[in-house]
């Protein structure tokens, strides 16, 4: 119950912040973006995500057949949740996902994530 209260408060807080944004200023700033720097940032960030995906795949015991596409989706979703929810809830989501979807024992699921 406390988890859902914290999620609700997080979304309420984010909604309050979005109401305060002056969107005309945002569009002006986006019109002056240096696309070379954005491309460079993506090029430097992409290998980090790829290494995290392969690390997750390696940490999963061999008896569980989980593909790279599932690892990719799970990692991206967990990172998204970590951006908005408190207390690394995305990592907890990964452990629960492994437990419920692939029937990996709880201890193993937590050890994969942590």
HEC sequence for 35-93? HHHHHHHHHHHHHHHHHHHHHHHHHCCCCCCCCHHHHHHHHHHHHHHHHHCCCCHHHHH
Please tell me the predicted confidence (pLDDT) of residue 110.
80
pLDDT tens track, the chain, 114 positions: 777 888 888 889 999 998 999 999 999 998 998 999 999 999 999 999 999 899 888 888 877 888 888 889 888 888 888 887 777 788 888 888 888 888 888 888 888 877
The whole-model pTM stands at 0.63
Please tell me the predicted confidence (pLDDT) of residue 4.
83
Number of domains, the chain: 1
Domain containing residue 77? 2-113
CB 77 within 8 A of CB 89: no
Q: C-alpha 20: how far from its chain's center?
A: 25
């Amino acid at each position: 119950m406390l988890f859902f209260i914290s999620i609700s408060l997080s979304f309420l807080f984010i909604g309050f912040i979005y109401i305060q944004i002056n969107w005309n200023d945002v569009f002006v700033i986006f019109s002056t973006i240096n696309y070379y720097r954005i491309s460079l940032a993506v090029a430097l960030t992409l290998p980090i995500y790829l290494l995290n995906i392969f690390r997750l795949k390696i940490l999963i015991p061999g008896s569980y057949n989980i593909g790279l596409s599932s690892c990719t989706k799970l990692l991206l979703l967990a990172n998204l949740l970590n951006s908005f929810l408190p207390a690394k809830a995305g990592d907890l989501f990964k452990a629960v996902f492994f437990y419920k979807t692939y029937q990996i024992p709880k201890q193993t699921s937590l050890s994969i994530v942590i």
